[in-house]
Amino acid sequence: MPALTVHTAVAKDVVDQVAASVLDEQRGALYLGATAPDIRVLTRWARERTHFFDLNEFEEQSGVAALFESNPKLASPAGLNDQTAAFVAGYITHLVMDEMWITSVYRPFFGERSELGGSVRANVMDRALQFSMDSDCRDDRDLMLHVMNEVATSDLELEVDFIDLDTLKQWHGFVVKLAEQMPDWERYKSGARKHLERTGVELGEDFEEMMRSLPDLVDETIRYLTPERLDSYLEDSRARCVEAVKAYLECE
C-alpha cells in the first residue's frame, strides 16, 4: 500500500479541491488522519483493526462503510468537533487509497492470483514500488515541510474512540519526525524485511539477492506495471478520495 508521505500528498490535493473550511483550517488533523490507519506500526494491532478491510477476503469490501458501521458516532461530521471531522476525512482518504491499491495494483499484478503468483519477489517488487513513490514525495521538500508544520502545530482535540489519545499523541510525534526524513535504501530494506515477516512470507537467500539488486529492481517493477498504470492509479485515487470526502462532508 502507498507510503505515509503519498497519503499526505493526496490528502493535500483533496483539501485543495474540496471547498470545505473545516479541512482548510484543520489541515494538520487531516494529514494526521490520512496516516492514522498505519498506526499499527507502533501498536502492532492487526491490520483489520485500523483498515476495516480483510486482505484474505476477495469479495467487494468498503473500509469506509465498515469504519462507520463500527464507529457510528464518526459518521456524522456535524456531531464532531472540527479537528475530529478533519481527521476522519483524512482517514477516509487512506482507506480509499489502500483499497484501490489492493484491487487495481497489488492483486492483479503482484498477488497470489497474478502472473507473479504472490512470490517473495513479487512482494519485494510491490514494496520497492511503494518506496519509489515515497521517495518522489520526500524529494518535494516544500510539500514535506508543509505537512510537518501543519501536523506539528495541530491541536490533538480528537475524539476517536477506537484509537486512544495517548496512542494518537505518540503517532503524532512519529509522523512529524517521518516527514523530516529523506529517502534511505537501508531503512527501506529493514522495513521490507519486517513487513514481509509480519505477513508470514518466508525469506531466504533470494530475498538478500533482491535487496542487493536495488534500486534496479524499482526500474524493473515500473516497467512491469508501466508508468501509465501507476499514474492512472494516482489520478483515480485522487478523484475517488475527493468524491468520498465530499460525500462525508455533504459538499457540492
Mean pLDDT of the chain: 90
pLDDT band at 205 (very low <50, low <70, confident <90, very high): low
The structural domain count of the chain equals 1
What would the mean pLDDT of 5-33 be, rounded to a whole number? 96
Give the number of other CB atoms < 10 A from CB of residue 8.
31
What is the grid cell recorded at 183?
Answer: 529517502
pTM: 0.91
Element (H, E) at 119: none
Q: List for the chain the helix, strand, coil content (%; round to 5).
A: 75, 0, 25
Query: Do residues 17 and 10 touch, judged by C-beta distance below 8 A?
Result: no
At 199, list the grid cell: 505477513
Q: Quick check: 203 and 196 in contact, CB under 8 A?
A: yes
pLDDT of residue 193: 72
Closest CA to 31 of 23, 22, 41: 23
Kindly indicate the confidence band of residue 66, based on its pLDDT and cuts at 50, 70 and 90.
Answer: very high
pLDDT at 60: 82
How far apart, in whole angstroms, are the C-alpha atoms of residue 207 and residue 101? Answer: 23
The rounded distance, in Å, linking the Cα atoms of 81 and 230 is: 36
| Residue 244 pLDDT greater than 80, yes or no | yes
Q: How many CB atoms are located within 10 Å of the residue 105 CB?
A: 22
- The confidence score (pLDDT) of residue 89 equals 98
Q: Which three cell numbers stand for residue 79?
A: 456531531
The rounded distance, in Å, linking the Cα atoms of 193 and 116 is: 19
Local confidence band at 200 (pLDDT 50, 70, 90 cut-offs): low
Kindly tell me if the per-residue pLDDT of 61 is higher than 80.
yes
Residue 81 pLDDT > 80 = yes
In this predicted structure, what is the pLDDT of residue 251?
Answer: 65
CA distances from 239 to 143, 244, 250 (A): 20, 9, 16
Give the residue numbers spanning the domain of 71: 4-249
Task: Tally the residues of the chain.
Answer: 252
Examine the pLDDT at 28 and tell me if it is beyond 90.
yes
Cell numbers linked to 104: 487495481
By the 8 A CB rule, do 24 and 146 touch?
Answer: no
* Exposure b/e, 48-62, CB count within 10 A at least 16 = b: eebbbbeeeeeeebe
Q: 58-72, 108-122, 193-207: which has the minimum mean pLDDT?
A: 193-207
Give mean pLDDT, residues 221-238: 96
Average pLDDT on 95-108 reads 96
